[in-house]
C-alpha cells in the first residue's frame, strides 16, 4: 500500500475523475500484451500537464513510491507491468498534437497521442511518422521502447526519428533535450539516452519527431520460397544490393497459414514468403528496381514473384500483417504463447533464420517465424498447452537458445520489443561492463529507484 500522506497529496493534485483505486482500473493497468504475469498497481492517475507530472514525481520520490508510466499497454515484454505496485501514470489523456512544422517535416506532440491517430492528421499535409509497430501504440510508449516496424528498413526505428524531448526526472525537474535542428552536436546526447529507457530514467512529456513525405510511387512484390533459409538468403541479397525496400517482411509457412485466415486478403500459398515494398519518385526507376529484385529472388529458388499488387490490396495485406500477432492468438486459441524478438547483422540473418527454424523443429515446438527481415529482425511465436509444464519449459528453453544464437551471431537480445522483464537475464551477457555504466546512470538519474523499478536492469 502507498503511504496515506502520498494518497492525500495526490487527491489534492488530481480531480476525482483523474485518479483511481478502483479494482477494474487497477486490473486494466496490471498487464500488457505478453504472457508475463500481471501485477496490480495501487492507484492510477491521468496527468494533463507537465506540471502535474512534475509535482507527482516530487511526491513519489519524497514518499519512495514506485511510478510506472503507461502509454497504451501494448508491450510484449512486460515493460509497463507495475511489478512493485505503487502508482501508474497513464498518459492517454495527454494526447495533443502541439505543433506541425510542415516546412521542416516535424511534429511536436504530447506522449499519449496514438501514432495511427497522429498519422491520420499528418496525411493531410502529405507527411507521416514512419516507425509503425503493429499495435496502435502511443508515442510515449514507442519512444520508451524504441519501437520499430515494417518501415524501419528504410526510415529507421523511433530512435532515428526523434529530435527533441521534454523529460521529467525522478525528482520532478523538467529538462529539455536536443533541438529542432536535424544536425546536433552539442553536449551529451540525452535525447537518445531516454529513448529506449522504458520509463526507468525519466518520464517523457513532450517530443519533437522527424516526419517523412508520403512517397509518390509505390510498388509491392510478393515472393515465395521453398524454405525460410532461401527466403532469408534473398533478403541478404536485396539489402546487400542497395535496393532500399520501404518494407521487407518474412513469414514462414505457419505464419502464412495464419495470415490466410484474414478474409480481406487473397489466399496465398502456405510457403515461406517475402512481402516487399519499394518507393520512388519515378515509376521507371521503380520498375527497374523490381526487375532486379525478381532476379535476386530467382537466384534463391523463388517459386513465385507477384508484382501486380494494387494499392488497396497492399493496404489490406499490411493491415493483416500488422494484426498477425492477434491472428496467431485466435488461431491457437486456448494455448499459451511466448513471443521472441532478436536481431542480427544482415549478413548473419540467413544463418539465424536457418538455425532458429531447425531448433524449433528439433524441440518439437509449434509456432511461427515472422519479422522485419530487412532489419535483420525476426520474431518467434511458440504455442503450448497451458496445463503442460514440460511444454512450457521447452518453449522457454527454445527462447533462451534463440537469443543466445542471436548474440553468438553478433546481434542483440531484442530488436524492438525492449528488455522489460523477459530479457533482463541476457543483459550481462550482451553488455558486459557496459551494464555497470547503465546501473550508474540509473542511480544518478533515479537514486531511489522509483521509476519503473525491476525493468531493464537485472536485480
Ligand X SMILES: Cc1cc2nc3c(=O)[nH]c(=O)nc-3n(C[C@H](O)[C@H](O)[C@H](O)COP(=O)(O)OP(=O)(O)OC[C@H]3O[C@@H](n4cnc5c(N)ncnc54)[C@H](O)[C@@H]3O)c2cc1C
At its nearest, how many Å lie between ligand X and the CB of residue 391? Answer: 23
Considering the complex, state which of residue 55 and residue 289 has its C-beta at the smaller distance from ligand X. 55
Asked if 235 touches ligand X (CB under 6 A), the answer is no
Considering the complex, state which of residue 32 and residue 230 has its C-beta at the smaller distance from ligand X. 32
Distance CA 346, CA 302 (A): 19
Spatial contact of 425 and 458, defined as CB atoms under 8 Å apart: yes
Of the candidates 445, 429, 450, the one whose C-alpha atom is nearest the C-alpha of residue 458 is 429
Binding mask 198-227 for ligand X (x = CB under 6 A): xx---xx-----------------------
Q: Which stretch binds ligand X (CB under 6 A): 71-79, 273-281, 283-291, 348-356?
A: 71-79
Q: What stretches of 300-388 show up as alpha helix (H) in DSSP? A: 311-322, 324-331, 349-362
Q: Which stretch binds ligand X (CB under 6 A): 43-51, 147-155, 350-358, 441-449?
A: 147-155
Asked if 453 touches ligand X (CB under 6 A), the answer is no
Considering the complex, state which of residue 158 and residue 289 has its C-beta at the smaller distance from ligand X. 158
Distance CA 330, CA 222 (A): 25
At its nearest, how many Å lie between ligand X and the CB of residue 303? Answer: 27
Q: To which residue does cell 502464412 refer? A: 256
Asked if 111 touches ligand X (CB under 6 A), the answer is yes
Residue in the shown chain whose Cβ atom is closest to ligand X: 141
CA 254 distance to own-chain centroid: 22
Binding ligand X (rule: CB under 6 A), the pick from 60, 83, 127, 144 is 144
Binding ligand X (rule: CB under 6 A), the pick from 41, 71, 245, 453 is 71
At its nearest, how many Å lie between ligand X and the CB of residue 417? Answer: 6
Binding ligand X (rule: CB under 6 A), the pick from 134, 272, 340, 376 is 134
Considering the complex, state which of residue 228 and residue 339 has its C-beta at the smaller distance from ligand X. 339
N residues, the chain: 459
Q: Which residues pair with 338 in a beta bridge?
A: 382
Region for residue 287 given its phi and psi (left: phi exceeds 0; alpha: psi -120 to 50; beta: otherwise): alpha
Asked if 365 touches ligand X (CB under 6 A), the answer is no
Asked if 155 touches ligand X (CB under 6 A), the answer is no
Angle at 234 between CA 353 and CA 358, to 5 degrees: 20
At its nearest, how many Å lie between ligand X and the CB of residue 75? Answer: 3
Region for residue 449 given its phi and psi (left: phi exceeds 0; alpha: psi -120 to 50; beta: otherwise): left
Interaction residues for ligand X, span 26-65 (CB under 6 A): 32-33
Asked if 73 touches ligand X (CB under 6 A), the answer is yes
Asked if 142 touches ligand X (CB under 6 A), the answer is yes
Distance CA 75, CA 324 (A): 15
Interaction residues for ligand X, span 383-442 (CB under 6 A): 416-417
Binding ligand X (rule: CB under 6 A), the pick from 54, 75, 246, 289 is 75
Sheet of strand 43-45, all strands in order from the earlier edge strand to the far edge: 19-20, 43-45, 87-90, 67-70
Asked if 72 touches ligand X (CB under 6 A), the answer is yes
Asked if 80 touches ligand X (CB under 6 A), the answer is yes
Q: Which stretch binds ligand X (CB under 6 A): 75-83, 260-268, 306-314, 391-399?
A: 75-83
Distance CA 114, CA 132 (A): 11
Distance CA 251, CA 125 (A): 33
Asked if 95 touches ligand X (CB under 6 A), the answer is no
Please state, as a whole number, how many other Cβ atoms lie within 10 Å of the Cβ of residue 260: 17
Asked if 252 touches ligand X (CB under 6 A), the answer is no
Asked if 135 touches ligand X (CB under 6 A), the answer is yes
Considering the complex, state which of residue 94 and residue 296 has its C-beta at the smaller distance from ligand X. 94
CA-to-CA separations, 440 to 68, 190, 444, in angstroms, rounded: 20, 15, 6
Q: Which stretch binds ligand X (CB under 6 A): 138-146, 213-221, 380-388, 436-444?
A: 138-146
| DSSP 8-state code for residue 333 | T
CA-to-CA separations, 102 to 141, 291, 399, in angstroms, rounded: 24, 35, 44
Q: What stretches of 159-226 show up as alpha helix (H) in DSSP? A: 190-194
Interaction residues for ligand X, span 319-348 (CB under 6 A): 325-326
Residues contributing to the site for ligand X (CB under 6 A): 32-33, 68-76, 79-80, 91, 111, 133-135, 137-138, 140-142, 144-145, 147-149, 198-199, 203-204, 325-326, 416-417, 452
Amino acid at each position: 500500500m502507498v503511504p496515506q500522506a502520498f494518497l492525500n497529496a495526490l487527491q489534492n493534485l488530481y480531480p476525482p475523475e483523474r485518479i483511481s483505486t478502483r479494482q477494474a482500473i487497477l486490473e486494466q493497468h496490471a498487464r500488457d500484451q505478453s504472457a508475463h504475469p500481471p501485477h496490480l498497481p495501487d492507484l492510477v492517475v491521468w496527468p494533463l500537464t507537465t506540471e502535474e507530472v512534475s509535482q507527482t514525481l516530487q511526491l513519489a520520490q519524497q514518499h519512495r513510491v514506485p511510478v510506472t508510466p503507461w502509454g497504451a499497454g501494448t508491450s510484449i515484454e512486460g515493460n509497463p507491468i507495475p511489478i512493485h505496485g505503487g502508482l501508474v501514470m497513464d498518459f492517454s489523456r495527454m494526447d495533443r498534437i502541439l505543433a506541425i512544422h510542415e516546412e521542416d517535416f516535424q511534429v511536436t506532440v504530447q506522449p499519449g497521442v496514438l501514432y495511427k491517430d497522429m498519422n491520420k492528421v499528418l496525411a493531410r499535409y502529405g507527411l507521416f511518422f514512419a516507425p509503425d509497430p503493429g499495435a496502435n501504440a502511443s508515442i510515449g510508449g514507442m519512444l520508451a521502447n524504441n519501437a520499430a516496424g515494417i518501415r524501419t528498413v528504410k526510415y529507421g526505428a523511433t530512435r532515428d526519428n526523434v529530435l527533441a524531448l521534454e523529460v521529467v526526472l525522478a525528482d520532478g525537474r523538467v529538462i529539455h533535450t536536443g533541438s529542432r535542428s536535424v544536425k546536433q552536436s552539442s553536449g551529451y546526447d540525452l535525447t537518445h539516452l531516454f529513448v529506449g529507457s522504458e520509463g526507468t530514467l525519466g518520464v517523457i512529456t513532450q517530443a519533437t519527431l522527424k516526419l517523412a513525405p508520403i512517397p509518390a510511387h509505390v510498388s509491392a512484390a510478393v515472393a515465395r520460397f521453398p524454405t525460410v533459409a532461401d527466403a532469408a538468403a534473398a533478403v541478404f541479397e536485396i539489402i546487400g544490393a542497395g535496393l532500399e525496400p520501404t518494407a521487407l517482411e518474412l513469414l514462414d509457412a505457419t505464419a502464412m497459414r495464419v495470415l490466410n485466415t484474414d478474409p480481406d486478403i487473397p489466399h496465398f500459398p502456405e510457403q515461406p514468403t517475402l512481402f516487399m515494398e519499394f518507393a520512388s519518385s519515378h515509376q521507371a526507376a521503380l520498375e527497374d528496381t523490381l526487375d532486379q529484385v525478381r532476379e535476386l529472388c530467382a537466384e534463391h529458388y523463388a517459386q513465385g514473384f507477384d508484382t501486380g499488387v494494387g494499392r488497396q490490396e497492399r493496404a489490406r495485406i499490411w493491415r493483416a500483417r500488422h494484426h498477425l500477432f492477434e491472428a496467431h492468438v485466435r488461431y491457437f486459441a486456448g494455448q499459451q504463447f511466448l513471443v521472441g524478438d532478436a536481431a542480427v547483422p544482415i549478413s548473419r540473418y540467413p544463418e539465424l533464420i536457418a538455425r532458429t527454424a531447425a531448433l524449433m523443429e528439433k524441440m518439437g515446438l509449434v509456432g511461427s517465424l515472422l519479422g522485419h527481415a530487412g532489419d535483420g529482425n525476426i520474431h518467434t511465436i511458440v504455442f503450448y498447452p497451458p496445463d503442460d509444464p514440460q511444454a512450457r519449459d521447452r518453449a522457454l528453453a527454445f527462447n533462451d537458445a534463440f537469443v543466445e544464437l542471436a548474440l553468438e551471431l553478433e546481434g542483440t537480445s531484442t530488436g524492438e520489443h525492449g528488455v522489460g522483464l523477459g530479457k533482463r537475464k541476457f543483459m550481462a551477457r550482451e553488455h558486459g561492463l557496459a551494464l555497470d555504466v547503465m546501473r550508474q546512470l540509473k542511480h544518478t538519474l533515479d537514486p531511489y529507484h522509483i521509476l519503473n523499478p525491476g525493468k531493464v536492469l537485472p536485480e
